[in-house]
Amino acid sequence: MLCLLLAVGNSYGQDGSAGIQAANTQVRSYFDGGTQLMYGVGALLALIGAVKVYQKWNAGDPDTSKVAASWFGSCIFLVVVVTIIRSFFGL
């Protein structure tokens, strides 16, 4: 009975570092696909923004430069965020 209690006590006393390391490895393996997805979303946003700006420019709207700056800024922000996250995690 004493051996059984000691065996159960030792099995509950693990620190979980192997599980954390496995999770770390798994998240890092998904990161390249995630960054490619974010670059794809940025390219799609750039195309949509270019069409919207072109439509406003042809319609003669006075706020075309503001719309162009906001679409361009959002695409630049997305690329910068991906780059910063990539360098922050050392990937």
Our separate counts of H helices and E strands in the chain read 3, 0
**What are the pLDDT digits (tens) for 6-51?**
555 555 555 677 778 888 888 888 888 888 888 888 888 889 888 9
Question: What predicted TM-score, i.e. pTM, was given to this entire model?
Answer: 0.62
pLDDT above 70: residue 55: yes
The residues spanned by each domain of the chain are 31-91
Residue 64, CA distances (Å) to 21, 49, 74, 89 in order: 50, 11, 16, 38
